[in-house]
Amino acid sequence: MDQPGLDPQAHQAALLGLARINALTRSASCFFPAIRRLASQDPSRRLRILDVACGGGDTVRAIARQGRREGIDLEVHGCDISAEAVALASAAAREEGLEAHFFQADAIAAPLPGGYHLITTSLFLHHLRESNAETLLRSMAAATLDQLLVHDLIRSRLDLLLTWIGTRLLSRSAIVHIDGPLSVGGAFQLDEVAHLATAAGLAGARISRFWPERFLLSWSRDVPNA
């Protein structure tokens, strides 16, 4: 899916397939305990959130929907290197009537914009080599006002099996069928994630494991072991 020049229709079909998988695994839900905590610290402020490498924007829209249901004042943005993904995400948000904004950005080649209380990324880290993964973590830490969260796959035989089955049940996209197992093969194990966090200077970062074979890396600027 990262291949330059990918056919736009094939790209859109792949993004929609991934959105179905993310909805079933409730990928965005792992971010909400932190969102509720940050919102409760200052209920009068508008909480600004940026999702990095947002793809088709399903995580951004899920956060916006949940915030609306819970009455949390959110300003949710997503960025992606792909103009096609940004266009698809923007159109989907408009169709739902959600206040979500998307823009094109290369999160590895340039610093991330600041002014966000929470910066997240979901299922992106496994696409990166170790050096670029460290660059991403440093950039997220430098840009966030309060906290960063990284949700991704764990490299394991179980996750490979689950991904192979899930991609075929939930998507007809040949790209998703190929990209899913390749993603597991490129994913990090938990000790490797811990090493990346240390190398990126994320003192006090916490890594938690959850089903199905996923992890959440959490780091806060002012609170150790956030």
CB of 70 closer than 8 Å to CB of 38 = no
* Over residues 11-38, mean pLDDT: 72
Question: In 3D, which of 56, 101, 94 has the Cα closest to residue 78?
Answer: 101
User: Encoding tokens for residue 61?
Assistant: 């829209």
**What is the number of alpha carbons within 13 Å of residue 176 lying toward its C-beta?**
23
The DSSP secondary-structure symbol of 164 reads: H
| Average pLDDT across the chain, whole number | 84
Enumerate the domain spans of the chain. 8-220
Please write the tens of the pLDDT for every residue from 156-198. 656 556 565 555 555 555 554 455 544 555 689 999 999 999 9
* CATH architecture under which domain 8-220 falls: 3-Layer(aba) Sandwich (3.40)
Q: Which residues contact 223 (CB under 8 A, 6 or more apart)?
A: 204
Above 90 in pLDDT, residue 24? no
Please write the tens of the pLDDT for every residue from 80-124. 999 988 999 999 999 999 999 999 999 999 999 999 999 999 999
